Structure 1
Amino acid sequence: MGAAAQQPAFIIFSDLSKIGPFLIELRKRGLTVLAFSQRQGSAMVQKGIELLGTPGHPFADLTEVSLRDATDISGMADQASRWARQYDVRGVLVNAEVYVDAGQVVSDMLGLPGPGWRASTVCRNKLLQRRYLRQWSPVSVLLTAPAHGIADRAEAEELAAQYTGPFPVAVKPLDRESSIGVRVVEDGRALADAVAGLGPGSRLLVEERVRGREFNVDTLVAEGKPIVTLLTQKGTNEDSTEFFVELVHTTPPTNLDERETALITEAQLGVVDRLGFENGYAHAEYRITDDGRVVLMEIAARAPGDGCLHLYHLSTGRPIEPVLIDIALGRPTEYPAVFRRRGRQVYFEHTPGVLRDVRVEGLEGAAPQWLADTTGIWPELSAVEGNAPATVHEVFVLKPRGFALERLTESSNRAVTAIFDVPVDGDIDAEEARVRRAVTIETEPSAG
């Protein structure tokens, strides 16, 4: 075996746009970084692929990158096995939903810490979540289109009639990621319309529409033991549309008391225990109703997307990525949930059309960063002192100039976001209003 076999290495499954803070930490530890990422995807992903191998770019710290479709588990297992013969692979970390299955295979194959088979499998399947975690879940039914497809309206209505619960309901396609295709339907006729659009053999999860405040609930787990549980308040466009696109994240929440926090945390720890979660990040979403019922919306065996990890860093003063790497390496670690600041991320609504410009006026030192036109990667942010005044950290543009922006029906349609914070007892809503007044998104109608 050559000298390269002695090099300590780390395998990460990630969208290239979200790999930056992990690369920084892995470089500090002297680990060779081996990455799996997608062949194609969003404008940010495409820009990142273009920039692979560029000197001076953060991607220069990637020793090897294997671009693989998420379904190519055999190919990724084979590639990881070859890497394991060439390098001393010490950890595996999954930072993208589509790679949870492959990441579990690779970590288990190499004898390295991972979430575990039950946690990984259930977290990747909305129906299994409802059946394994029935105690915390809304009432649901699975509708499956015939192999020949939906023949006519009568067949769609007959299939939709299998749901006998109250309306409105949420419908969730089981063949899509995140919130793609998830929406509310108000009555049986609208449900039949949704069923009529199913392709041959497609499956649709229909479940009671739970109303209440919604939260990200994130638990870091090492060797089967929860290290810390963190909560982030969520805001979506569900009140003005039939969709569930996440537009606001706030850490720590402003709308929970101690009793409610305890109820949600208790539910999350019960879910983590039921899944036999071994190592990594249990990222769940819950609602709490006006009568105090805590309901699980979904759970994933990977870190959250958007700027949620940035918010934990800004609000506690400590980045969370080093802890995730410690867990993947099997090292003792901790993360104190002591909040010095309150951080918020907002995604701006826009008028559909061709993106021409984004202007920021009146925010000291803040200018739009056109990530999809420049670096293709979310940069690391720097936390400020706890008593510092309200701070706008960044305004990011996630689509290139000339991109045709669509209505906000799913998370991939979002184009512009801002991240800011205030002292933990400061007025985060007032700062949000100031930021929203400062940012203008200019579009023009698309041809035709």
Structure 2
Amino acid sequence: MSRTVLFVGAGKHQQRAILYAKSLGLTVAAVDGSADAPGLAEADVQFVVDFADLDGVLAAIDGFEFDGVLTVSADRAVPIVAAIAEARGLPGIGVEAAHAMTHKVTMRRLLAEAGVPQPRFAGLRTIAERRRAADEVGFPAVLKPANSGGQRGVHRVESLDDIDAHLHEAVTLSPTGEAILEEYVEGTEMNGIVIGRDGELSVLTLSDRLRPPGKGFAVGWIHVYPATVYGDQQEEAERVAVHAPRALGMKTGIAFPQLIATPDGRVVVVECAARIPGGQMADLVRHAVGVDLIDVQLRMALGDPLPDKVVKPKFRQPLAIRFLTSSPGPLPAGRVTRLGPLDAVLAAPGVVGAGTYIEVGEVIRPVQVDNDRRGYVIATADTNLEALERAEAAAALVDIDVEPV
């Protein structure tokens, strides 16, 4: 008899996973607050309900039987998935670990208790707390919501006046009305992918996460594999990448630690999520080391075996992902009047994948948040730097016209 999996969230990042699950012969159910979510149309069973509303989701699926529950790329869905799994007695990371890996203040406190290297930090809710937070952290600093995503409400701050200007936004974007102030750390930012199997955690990939200047400083606009840290600092990065999810309570799951390697040889944790990341990171892992994270996540959700051949690298292929952004970036800013095919991009040397999230009539704005990434180009080469050159050159071939707004 066919087994059934429940996807919490059915947006564009979930769609490929839903189609893959169906290709395996699984029955797929999906929950999403938008009836127009692209993955919802692909599911065998649809529940239209805000997936961040646990009570609403539990009411919607009451009486519906399934064998596993998961999400892809949706940080808000992680605690919901954990709660559903726990309520139904299904495999999951646990409610406590899910909270720790989605609530930045809790995360920071647990990492501090475990001795995981990280920036100075302070939680705050009100203007009255800003001086205490600034005294604990110093300037420059980064102000962000305690539990949000997509780089929304993230600001670099240089003074108390900057905190005053941005705290309301950060608190408003947090479902619990909390913000966190963190020390701004210079260095090479990296994305890690860590696989946990019954308490045994290992690093699958480490890649550079390059960011643009200006207001979009927190957005990853280029990924480069392998990361450009070497020797002792690379070993320290791998150690910290494993230490962080272990300290947060993950035993079996996919962890996404983000790290910064500093010029003086240290490695600190920016944050650590419990999900397959967005931003084409699943594509990076698939092309770089031959591991399909969606297959791994489905196996985890269903409690299936995870042999080495499923989770260990099959090869090491240097690559780069260049996101299509504007100001800075290869895209023009303005209202889209025409979008041509990607034939020239896909035919460029080394390109193994490309796509856009652009429709005629939409407005392309200067990059500030993750949603301002309007597409991507993935290129491979003999070295990571050559791959980046290829991805940049191919991204410049996107055929698009805009008009001023």
Q: Indicate conservation of the 8 Å contact 1:9/1:91, yes or no.
A: yes
Determine whether 1:208 maps to 2:183. Answer: yes
Give the partner amino acid of 1:308.
M
Distance 2:221 2:312 in 1: 27
* Equivalences, count: 388
**1:297 positional shift:** 0.8
Correspondence 1:122 to 2:100: yes
Measure how far apart 1:286 and its partner are: 0.8
Q: More deviation in 97-106 or 315-324? A: 315-324
Instruction: Give the deviation of 1:431 after TM superposition.
Output: 0.9
- CA RMSD of superposed structures (Å): 2.6
Q: TM-score normalised to the size of structure 2? A: 0.87
Name which of structure 1's ranges 397-406 and 15-24 shifts more when overlaid on structure 2.
15-24
**Which residue pairs with 2:261 in the alignment?**
288
1:199–1:129 CA distance, 2 compared to 1 (3 A): closer
- Give me the TM-score of the superposition, normalised by structure 1: 0.79
Task: Tell me which residue corresponds to 1:396.
Answer: 355
Residues 208 and 248 (structure 1 numbering): CA distance in 2 closer, same or farther, change over 3 Å? same
Aligned residue in 2 for 1:374: none
Is 1:341 matched with 2:317?
yes
Q: Which structure is higher in RCO with an 8 Å CA cutoff and minimum separation 6?
A: 1
Distance in structure 1 (CA, Å) of the matches to 2:102 and 2:170: 21
**Matches of 1:305 and 1:39, distance apart in 2:** 19
Aligned-partner Cα distance in 1 for 2:194–2:60:
30
User: Distance in 1 between the 2:44 and 2:316 partners?
Assistant: 37
Which whole-Å deviations, capped at 9, do the CAs of 1:247-294 have from their partners, x for residues lacking one? 0112322x1214222111111221222122132211111111011221
Q: Secondary structure at the match of 1:92?
A: strand
**Equivalent residue, structure 2, for 1:103:** 81
Check 1:168–1:360 CA distance in 2 against 1; reply closer, same or farther (3 A cut). farther
**239-248 or 30-39, larger mean C-alpha shift:** 239-248
Q: Which residue of 2 aligns with 1:249?
A: 223
* Deviations, residues 104-141 of structure 1 (Å, cap 9, x unaligned): 01111121111122210111111111111123221112
- Is 2:67 the partner of 1:93? no
Q: CA deviation at 1:198?
A: 6.7
Do the aligned partners of 1:390 and 1:423 also contact (CA within 8 Å) in 2? Answer: no
**Superposed, which structure 2 residues align to 1:246-325 within 5 Å?**
246-253=220-227, 255-325=228-298
1:49-198 matches, cutoff 5 A = 53=41, 59=42, 62-84=43-65, 89-95=66-72, 96-134=74-112, 135=115, 136-145=117-126, 156=127, 159-162=129-132, 163-164=134-135, 165-174=137-146, 176-195=148-167
How many angstroms apart in 1 are the aligned matches of 2:375 and 2:384?
Answer: 27
Q: What is the letter of the counterpart of residue 94 of structure 2?
A: G
> Letter of the aligned partner of 1:230 in structure 2?
T
In the alignment, residue 274 of structure 2 is paired with which amino acid? Answer: A
Partner of 2:5: 10
- Tell me the CA shift for residue 191 of structure 1: 2.5
Could you list the per-position Cα deviations for residues 87-113 of structure 1 after superposition, in whole angstroms to 9, with x for gaps in the alignment? xx2222121211111100111112111
Measured in 1, the distance between the counterparts of 2:292 and 2:86 equals 27
Q: Which amino acid aligns with 1:76?
A: V
Matched, 1:39 2:34: yes
Kindly indicate whether the alpha-carbon contact (under 8 Å) linking 1:184 and 1:242 is maintained by their aligned counterparts in 2: no
Comparing 75-84 and 266-275, the one that deviates more: 75-84
Distance 1:178 1:197, change over 3 A: closer
SS in 2 for 1:83: coil
Matched, 1:422 2:381: yes
Residue 220 of structure 2 aligns with an amino acid whose one-letter code is E
Please tell me whether residue 410 in structure 1 is matched to residue 369 in structure 2: yes
Bigger Rg over Cα = 1
> Partner of 2:329 in structure 1?
none
Cα offset, 1:421, TM superposition = 1.8
Q: Distance in 2 between matches of 1:124 and 1:256?
A: 27
Q: Distance in 2 between matches of 1:132 and 1:229?
A: 24
**Per-residue deviation, 1:10:** 1.2
Please list, as runs of the form range in 1=range in 2, the aligned pairs for 1:227-242 lying within 5 A after superposition. 228-237=203-212, 239-241=213-215
What is the percentage of aligned positions where both structures have the same residue?
A: 21
1:172–1:204 CA contact under 8 A, matched in 2: yes
Cα deviations by residue, 1:191-242 (Å, 9 ceiling, x for unpaired):
33324667789432111101110111111112222254321210111x3446
Q: 5+ residue gaps in structure 2? A: 327-331
Distance in 2 (CA, whole Å) between partners of 1:121 and 1:197 is 22
